[in-house]
Amino acid sequence: MKIVIFAVLLAVASAKKFSVEKSGNTCAMLVLSGKVDATASNGTQDLGSMSLPFDSATLIADSNCTLIKLNLTSSVEVWFQLDGATAGAQQIQPIAKFTPVDVFPKVNETADVVFTADAFGSFSTNQSFLCKASVDHAFTTQQVTPVNFTLQATTDQLQIQFGNIVNGSFSSDTSECDQDKTSTPQPTSTAAPTTVLPPQQDISLNVTNGNVTCILMKGFFTISVTFEDTVAGKKVNRTGDLNIPADAVASGNCTLNATVESMQILFGNGWELDFLFSKDVSSSDDTSVSISEISVTYNTAAFKAASPVTKNVTMEKKGGFLKTNLGGYYQCNANSTCIDESGVKLTTTDFKYQAFRTKSDGNFYGSIAECPADEETSSVVPIAVGAALAGLVLIVLIAYLIGRRRSRKSGYESV
Ligand SMILES: *[C@@H]1O[C@H](CO)[C@@H](O)[C@H](O)[C@H]1NC(C)=O
Ligand SMILES: *[C@@H]1O[C@H](CO)[C@@H](O)[C@H](O)[C@H]1NC(C)=O
Ligand SMILES: *[C@@H]1O[C@H](CO)[C@@H](O)[C@H](O)[C@H]1NC(C)=O
Ligand SMILES: *[C@@H]1O[C@H](CO)[C@@H](O)[C@H](O)[C@H]1NC(C)=O
Ligand SMILES: *[C@@H]1O[C@H](CO)[C@@H](O)[C@H](O)[C@H]1NC(C)=O
Ligand SMILES: *[C@@H]1O[C@H](CO)[C@@H](O)[C@H](O)[C@H]1NC(C)=O
Ligand SMILES: *[C@@H]1O[C@H](CO)[C@@H](O)[C@H](O)[C@H]1NC(C)=O
Ligand SMILES: *[C@@H]1O[C@H](CO)[C@@H](O)[C@H](O)[C@H]1NC(C)=O
Ligand SMILES: *[C@@H]1O[C@H](CO)[C@@H](O)[C@H](O)[C@H]1NC(C)=O
Ligand SMILES: *[C@@H]1O[C@H](CO)[C@@H](O)[C@H](O)[C@H]1NC(C)=O
Ligand SMILES: *[C@@H]1O[C@H](CO)[C@@H](O)[C@H](O)[C@H]1NC(C)=O
Ligand SMILES: *[C@@H]1O[C@H](CO)[C@@H](O)[C@H](O)[C@H]1NC(C)=O
pLDDT above 60 for 190:
no
- The answer to the question of residue 231 being in a domain is yes
40 near 47, Cβ under 8 Å?
A: yes
Question: CA 408, CA 415: separation in Å to the nearest integer?
Answer: 11
Helix (H) or strand (E) holding 77: strand 77-83
**Domain end among 127, 158, 182:** 182
Tell me, yes or no, whether 288 and 359 share the same domain. Answer: yes
Q: Is 297 in the pocket of ligand 9 (CB under 6 A)?
A: yes
Question: CA 200, CA 350: separation in Å to the nearest integer?
Answer: 12
Tell me, yes or no, whether 173 and 199 share the same domain. Answer: no
Question: CA 201, CA 220: separation in Å to the nearest integer?
Answer: 6
Kindly list the protein residues whose Cβ atom lies closer than 6 A to any atom of ligand 11: 211-212, 359-360
Q: Is 71 in the pocket of ligand 9 (CB under 6 A)?
A: no
Candidate from 150, 228, 300 with most ligand 6 atoms within 8 A of CB, to mutate: 228
Tell me, yes or no, whether 261 and 399 share the same domain. Answer: no
Nearest ligand to residue 111 Cα: 5
Q: Is 259 in the pocket of ligand 8 (CB under 6 A)?
A: yes
Asked whether the CA dihedral 164, 166, 170, 176 is positive or negative, the reply is negative
| Residue 338: closest CA among 295, 299, 387, 308 | 295
Question: CA 272, CA 223: separation in Å to the nearest integer?
Answer: 11
Q: How far apart are the two ends of the chain, measured CA to CA in Å?
A: 73
For β-strands 271-280 and 288-299, DSSP reports them as: antiparallel
**CATH number of the domain bearing residue 33:** 2.40.160.110
167 near 184, Cβ under 8 Å?
A: no
- The answer to the question of residue 415 being in a domain is no
Q: Is 255 in the pocket of ligand 7 (CB under 6 A)?
A: yes
Tell me, yes or no, whether 226 and 171 share the same domain. Answer: no
Distance of CA 166 to the CA centre of its chain: 47
Q: Is 295 in the pocket of ligand 9 (CB under 6 A)?
A: yes
Tell me, yes or no, whether 99 and 205 share the same domain. Answer: no
For 307-340, how does the pLDDT look when each residue is reduced to its tens digit (9 = 90+)?
889 999 998 887 789 999 999 999 999 999 988 8
- The answer to the question of residue 9 being in a domain is no
270 near 277, Cβ under 8 Å?
A: no
**Domain end among 182, 202, 226:** 182
- The answer to the question of residue 265 being in a domain is yes
Tell me, yes or no, whether 124 and 59 share the same domain. Answer: yes
- The answer to the question of residue 7 being in a domain is no
Distance of CA 351 to the CA centre of its chain: 25
- The answer to the question of residue 6 being in a domain is no
Average pLDDT over residues 101-114: 92
Listing DSSP states for 235-266 in one string gives EEEEEEEEEPPTT-EEEEEEEEETTEEEEEEE
Tell me, yes or no, whether 60 and 173 share the same domain. Answer: yes
Query: Domain of 392?
Result: 381-406
Nearest CA, atom 10, ligand 8: 257
User: What does the pLDDT read at residue 3?
Assistant: 41
Tell me, yes or no, whether 102 and 204 share the same domain. Answer: no
Total-model pTM: 0.51
pLDDT above 50 for 6:
no
**Domain end among 131, 160, 182:** 182
- The answer to the question of residue 375 being in a domain is no
Tell me, yes or no, whether 226 and 165 share the same domain. Answer: no
Question: CA 81, CA 347: separation in Å to the nearest integer?
Answer: 49
Domain count of the fold of the chain: 3
pLDDT above 60 for 60:
yes
Asked whether the CA dihedral 241, 244, 245, 249 is positive or negative, the reply is positive
Categorize the per-residue pLDDT at 83 as very low, low, confident or very high, splitting at 50, 70 and 90.
Answer: confident
- The answer to the question of residue 161 being in a domain is yes
Tell me, yes or no, whether 176 and 208 share the same domain. Answer: no
- Please state the length of the chain: 415
Tell me, yes or no, whether 164 and 32 share the same domain. Answer: yes
Tell me, yes or no, whether 242 and 140 share the same domain. Answer: no
For 151-171, how does the pLDDT look when each residue is reduced to its tens digit (9 = 90+)?
999 999 999 999 889 988 999
